[in-house]
Amino acid sequence: MKRLVVVTLPLLLAIAAPASSAEDTLYQDMGGQPGIDRIADMSVDNYLADPRIKDIFSESNMERIRAELKDQFCVIADGPCRYTGHDMVATHKGLHLTNANFNALVEDLQAAMDSCNIPFATQNRFLARLAPMQHQVVTR
Amino acid sequence: MRLPFRALALYLGLAALASPALADALFDSGKLLATGGVSQVEGAGGGGLASWAMITGYGTRNGIGANLHYTAVPLPDYNLQTAGLAVGLYDRLELSYAWQGFDTQEVGGALGLGRGFVFHQNIFGAKLKILGDAVYDQDSPMPQIAVGLQHKENDRAAVIHAVGGRNSTGTDFYMAASKLFLAESLLVNATLRATKANQFGLLGFGGNKHNDYTVQFEGSAAYLFSRQLAAGVELRTRPSNLSVAHEGEAWDLFAAYFFNKNLSLTAAYADLGNIVIKNGQHGAYLSLQAGF
């Protein structure tokens, strides 16, 4: 009997306990760090292949952008990272980005998340956190 | 219909001829899919029955968008058709024109107007975005707010007066608030409209029962199932100005499918309630929009 309790009690607790918030974050829903790294890499690949926006990156250090994007996506998704890159206003100053540029970046990110099989509703939870950056990034 | 369309085509054609690169930048189709909305029943950017605060088309604040639409609402005893065009200028100002035909079919015969008697209405609309951004302001509860008007001219003044309507022309004024709750994939719209219109103006404006402006509500909520598909519900209250017929609220269940930024199809089940001597006017609502 005692043995039965020892075996079943943790099992019951495990079933009864709601998924803890730490496990239920957007970060997890996006596949953790491997998932986010893949999304960031595919997004950058899409940017560089997109005739609407590829010229924006002609002077950029793409390896640095890839690394900063991975950190930034991780932080935005509540992952255990620290973004140590440049702030958004400084990074985009002088690029004279338009709303159409910003939305092209969004569409390429959406395509990357599609390729990584991120469900649409999860994509929107992530995009909702990125959307206000329009105010800092778009200057034209 | 002809003159504004030709003026628009001429303007767009000239701009495109002047410089293809300039035209690309001006007609940027830079908004995200579906965020320009579809064409509501009176030709403004919006849903079906309800208007939105969004400026129609896919032009951003640096560009111009425009579209054409055709809507059919085949009801049990009537047939409503709308065709129109709209331009969105710099995601700030929307100008629209719509033509409506309201075929009374057998009812026209029963009322002595003649079988298949048709009311026609021209609707000239303008909408100005004044505050907020429905898409980008995800860090605040602030919706996008726009004010607009729709001036309507009905061609059947004599019949309108005979059924107790006061005017064959009228102007609606509205304020619309739209908010995309992106994390929830939900779009919500609420509009207050000051109007005297009977059945959207198809039966004139003002009446022998009431002849003052009243403030009516229209609202909609849509869930985004994908970037291409949104579906939801709309409600629109309306005044009941004529003693010959009670006019109540209209509502619909709709799905809008965006093939791309150039083409969308909206299909709905719409219930317009009682229209003159016929109750239960509900049925399909179909709308096609093409533009950029």
pLDDT tens per residue across span B80-122: 999 999 999 999 999 999 999 999 999 999 999 999 999 999 9
Instruction: Please give, rounded to a whole number of angstroms, the shortest distance from the CA of B30 to a CA of chain A.
Output: 4
pLDDT (tens digit per residue) in B174-198: 999 999 999 999 999 999 999 999 9
Band the pLDDT of B2: cuts 50, 70, 90: low
Q: For all residues of chain B together, what is the average pLDDT?
A: 94
CA distance A24 to chain B (A): 15
Q: What pLDDT is recorded for position B1?
A: 46
- Split at pLDDT 50, 70, 90, the class of A16 is very low
Higher-pLDDT residue of B36 and A19 is B36
For the residues B10-18, what does the mean pLDDT come to? Answer: 63
Q: How far apart are CA B68 and CA A134, in angstroms?
A: 30
> CA-to-CA distance for A118 and B66, rounded, in angstroms?
33
Q: Which of A104, A110, A131 sits opposite B135 (nearest CB)?
A: A131
pLDDT value of residue B21: 73
Mean pLDDT of chain A: 87
pLDDT for A87 equals 84
**Is residue B227 within 8 angstroms of chain A, CB to CB?**
yes
> Which of A124, A130, A136 has the highest number of chain B CBs within 10 A, making it the mutation to test binding with B?
A124
Q: Is B137 on the interface with A (CB under 8 A)?
A: yes
CATH number, residue B272: 2.40.160.40
Q: Are the Cβ atoms of B183 and A124 closer than 8 angstroms?
A: yes
**B228: nearest CA partner in chain A:** A120
Question: How far is Cα B102 from Cα B111, in angstroms, rounded to an integer?
Answer: 15
**A111 → chain B, closest CA residue:** B227
- Nearest-by-Cβ selection for B30 from A100, A120, A134: A100
User: Looking at CA atoms only, how far is residue B80 from chain A in angstroms?
Assistant: 36
Q: Give the C-alpha separation, B38 to B36, whole Å.
A: 7
pLDDT at residue B61, as a whole number = 96
Residues in CB range of B190: below 8 A, 6 or more apart: B176, B177, B217, B218, B219
Distance from CA of B233 to the nearest CA of A (A): 20
What are the tens digits of pLDDT across the range B122-145?
Answer: 999 999 999 999 999 999 999 999
Reported as a pLDDT band with limits 50, 70 and 90, residue A11 is: very low
Q: Which residue has the higher pLDDT, B148 or B21?
A: B148
- pLDDT for A129 beyond 90: yes
pLDDT for B235-290, tens place per residue?
999 999 999 989 999 999 999 999 999 999 999 999 999 999 999 999 999 999 99
Instruction: Tell if the CB–CB gap between B185 and A120 is shorter than 8 Å.
Output: yes
B76 pLDDT more than 90: yes
Q: How many contacts does A have with B, using Cβ atoms within 8 A?
A: 58
Q: Which of A133-137, B64-68, B283-287 bottoms out in mean pLDDT, i.e. has the lowest? A: A133-137
Q: In this structure, what token pair is assigned to residue B239?
A: 């005044």
Instruction: Report whether pLDDT(A18) > 50.
Output: no
Show the domains of chain A with their CATH numbers.
29-137 (1.10.490.10)
CA of B45: how far to CAs of A20, B99, B111, in Å? 43, 15, 35
Q: What is the pLDDT of residue B162?
A: 94
Assess B262–A contact: CB distance below 8 Å, yes or no: no
Beta strands in chain B (DSSP E): 38-39, 45-46, 64-74, 79-89, 93-103, 118-131, 144-154, 165-167, 169-181, 186-195, 205-207, 214-224, 229-236, 250-260, 263-271, 282-291
Domain span at B210: 2-291
User: pLDDT tier at A86 (50, 70, 90 boundaries)?
Assistant: confident
Residue of B nearest to A120 (CA): B226
Per-residue pLDDT at A61 exceeds 90: yes
Q: What pLDDT score was predicted for residue A94?
A: 84
- In chain B, the number of structural domains is 1
